[in-house]
Amino acid sequence: MVELCIFWLYADPIRQRSVSTRRFFWLRLSRLYPLHLATLLLVAGLQWLYIRYHGGYFVYPLNDAYHFILNLFFAPAWGLEKGFSFNAPIWSVSVEILLYAMFFCVARWLPTRAVYALLLAMAGLYLQSYSVLIGRGVFAFYMGALVYVAYQKLVTGGLVYRGAKPLLLICLAAWLATLLEFQLGSLQVVLSKFCTTSCAGTGLEQLKALWVTGLLLPITILSLAVSETAGKGGWERTAWLGDISYASYLLHFPLQLIFFTLFADLLPERAIFYSSVLWGGYFVMLISSSLLTHRYFERPAQQWIRRYSIQRPRI
């Protein structure tokens, strides 16, 4: 959904020069960097405590000065790293920063058309041979561009109301097929007839990844966008989930680290972590802390940065 929003908000303004390079990147960084920096410092402090009391780092071991600097500059997934470090889920946002730079250049010089988006998505598949994370990001980002183009065609063609229900049915059928395949593994049987077991396993994982990122998720996002435009989904009531998505993504690991740092030695056995009660309590805490973080930290920090970096007159 992020890719659809980015293209919807910025593709035409960037090409028309109404959004400058400076403004675009400050808008994006003001959204992403404050919470990233806060959780980076939080995890660094918590890992220091954890190693003091437990003799080793929690989950991600590369918490040294070199990887701290990479994280500080949003670069822990640019191929310079030796592995995951600190608040490791930030790797996807690190790739996203590269994608923003790529998006700005492409949007400035090329119109948003399906053929260009498809070619760039295919380039992302090829790039995975050299960098899995970056290649995957490019592929997913420009599949999102294809969703945006399809959405625009439906809107300008007056097909939103007629297309909402068929798209929803296609989406449900795709999800049903996915769940059945993951449950029954019928594709594994077909592949095993043509190659060895290891080859079949590798090919199956690649096909599943391609199916999910290249078809299932784009169809789902397109269906949701069309349903919302047609006024049939009532999705405006769930807007808060989008608001807290970034906070919940960056807070889920620090919350685990806090809990283990404080209570790991007090628990009778690790099997308790599979408890549905504990799992439910963790999500209540995650959603609650994400709501508070978004309201009292993310938005104020974002507004402050935009006020002083974008709206301030340039001397």
Q: What is the pLDDT of residue 315?
A: 41
Token couple for 102: 């790529």
Q: What is the pLDDT of residue 195?
A: 56
- Average pLDDT in the 158-165 region? 82
Question: Residue 100, SS3?
Answer: helix
| Measured distance CA(134)–CA(71) in Å, rounded | 16
| Measured distance CA(223)–CA(217) in Å, rounded | 10
Q: Which of 58-67, 77-86, 93-102, 259-268 has the lowest mean pLDDT?
A: 259-268
- Check residues 19 and 254 and name the one with the higher pLDDT: 254
Cβ-in-10-Å burial (0-12, 13-18, 19+) of 64 comes to exposed
pTM score of the predicted model: 0.82
- Average pLDDT in the 202-218 region? 75
